[in-house]
């Protein structure tokens, strides 16, 4: 690895090797200094005391607090994911409609919900529902509805891009053999578009899962509320250990989903079943078209 030539640097000569070794030592010292600084600051406040870490190796902390919180998070994420996919499918296809009276309102809805901050939307729904429907517990509903409208709008764009990414010859050929509009969409375009969309959809679901943490602000009992509101009073002083433990759970979940998305993308790049190329996830960077640069595997950017 270190002796390989890459985009930015050659196999180093004697001087560059010396410089790289010096840089490595410097970087190591700097990183160790930062780690040491954090360790000392935590130590001064007794954050390494075994008593406050003890609860996290006991089963009842997990069964009584962390797992119920995780279930709360996953419940909100699963509900929102299902509704957002439905919303995205409906509005994405509506934006492709031939009828202006369908296309334009769908476009306005999608653009509106994509542009407003998600937290404002959740607050608004949270306060709107009791005044419309009377008292009750609308926390989960407001969270799921907010997540659905925002992520659904992003997914609508993904669906639209996915269908548009199927080469035009496919629908022309389908019309030529006599299929109608619905038949072309359902039998030809959508099956190919779904393959192209999947990586982008999973990437958006990672965003959705991360955004369920906003439930903390409207006092929904999720993993984050457990870590910051419910565990610390029960185990005095355990706020930082709790935050670190739930942080690791969030990071692990998201990395699993991301790895799944990458695997899907690789698979659909290889697959010849679809003539559509995988589209970039909405939060990612649009590629500059073929030939804009070297394929990414040429560059060693590990």
Partner 1 sequence: MDELIEYGPYLWEGFQVNLGLSAVCAVLSLVLGTILVSMRVSPTPVLRAAGTAYVNIVRNTPLTLILAFSALGLSDQIGLVFSEEPSTNGFWLVVMGLSAYTACFVCEALRSGINTVPFGQAEAARAIGLTFSQSLRMIILPQAFRAVISPLGSVMIAMIKNTTVAIAAGYLADVAFKMKDTFDTTGVSIPIFIGIALAFMAVILPIGLFTGWLAKRLAVAR
Which residues make up the interface to partner 1 (CB under 8 A)? Answer: 1-2, 7-10, 12, 16, 19-20, 23-24, 27-28, 31, 41-42, 45, 47, 112, 115-120, 123-124, 127-128, 131, 206, 210-214, 216-217, 224, 227-228, 239-240, 243, 246-247, 250-251, 254-255, 258, 283-288, 292-294, 296, 298-299, 301-302
Token pair belonging to 58? 């006991």
Q: How far is the CB of 158 from partner 1 (least distance, A)?
A: 14
d(CA 272, CA 124) in angstroms, rounded, equals: 46
Token pair belonging to 251? 């990071």
Nearer Cβ to partner 1 (23/86): 23
Nearer Cβ to partner 1 (134/286): 286
DSSP 83: H
DSSP 269: H
Token pair belonging to 144? 């799921």
Rg (CA), the chain: 25
- Tell me the HSE value of 104 on the side-chain side, using a 13 A CA sphere: 3
Contact 65, 231 (CB under 8 A): yes
Q: How far is the CB of 52 from partner 1 (least distance, A)?
A: 10
Nearer Cβ to partner 1 (185/240): 240
Nearer Cβ to partner 1 (90/239): 239
Nearer Cβ to partner 1 (28/82): 28
d(CA 91, CA 157) in angstroms, rounded, equals: 9
Nearer Cβ to partner 1 (82/259): 259
- Tell me the HSE value of 48 on the side-chain side, using a 13 A CA sphere: 7
Q: How far is the CB of 95 from partner 1 (least distance, A)?
A: 18
Token pair belonging to 208? 């959705």
Q: How far is the CB of 49 from partner 1 (least distance, A)?
A: 12
- Tell me the HSE value of 63 on the side-chain side, using a 13 A CA sphere: 3
- Whether the CA torsion 118, 119, 124, 127 is positive or negative: it is positive
Q: How far is the CB of 130 from partner 1 (least distance, A)?
A: 8
Token pair belonging to 30? 């700097």
Nearer Cβ to partner 1 (89/243): 243
Q: How far is the CB of 56 from partner 1 (least distance, A)?
A: 15
Q: How far is the CB of 140 from partner 1 (least distance, A)?
A: 17
């Amino acid at each position: 690895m270190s002796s390989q030539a890459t985009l930015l640097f050659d196999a180093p000569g004697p001087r560059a090797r010396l410089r790289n070794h010096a840089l490595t030592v410097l970087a190591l010292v700097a990183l160790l200094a930062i780690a040491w600084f954090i360790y000392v600051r935590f130590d001064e406040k007794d954050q390494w005391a075994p008593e406050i870490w003890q609860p996290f190796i006991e089963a009842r902390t997990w069964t009584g607090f962390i797992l119920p919180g995780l279930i709360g998070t996953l419940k909100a994420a699963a509900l929102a994911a299902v509704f957002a996919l439905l919303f995205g499918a409906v509005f994405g296809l509506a934006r492709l409609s031939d009828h202006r009276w369908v296309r334009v309102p769908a476009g306005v809805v999608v653009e509106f919900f994509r542009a407003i901050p998600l937290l404002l939307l959740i607050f608004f729904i949270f306060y709107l529902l009791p005044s419309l429907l009377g008292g009750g517990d609308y926390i989960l509903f407001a969270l799921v509805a907010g997540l659905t409208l925002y992520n659904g709008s992003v997914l609508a764009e993904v669906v639209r891009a996915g269908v548009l990414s199927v080469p035009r010859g496919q629908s022309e050929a389908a019309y030529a053999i006599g299929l109608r509009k619905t038949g072309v969409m359902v039998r030809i375009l959508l099956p190919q578009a779904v393959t192209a969309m999947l990586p982008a959809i999973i990437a958006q679901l990672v965003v959705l899962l991360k955004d369920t943490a906003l439930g903390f602000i409207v006092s929904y009992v999720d993993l984050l509320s457990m870590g910051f509101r419910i565990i610390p009073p029960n185990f005095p002083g355990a706020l930082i250990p709790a935050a670190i433990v739930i942080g690791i759970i969030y990071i692990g979940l998201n990395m699993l989903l991301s790895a799944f998305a990458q695997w899907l993308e690789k698979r659909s790049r290889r697959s010849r079943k679809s003539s559509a190329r995988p589209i970039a996830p909405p939060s990612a960077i649009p590629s500059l078209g073929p030939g804009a640069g070297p394929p990414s595997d040429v560059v060693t950017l590990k």
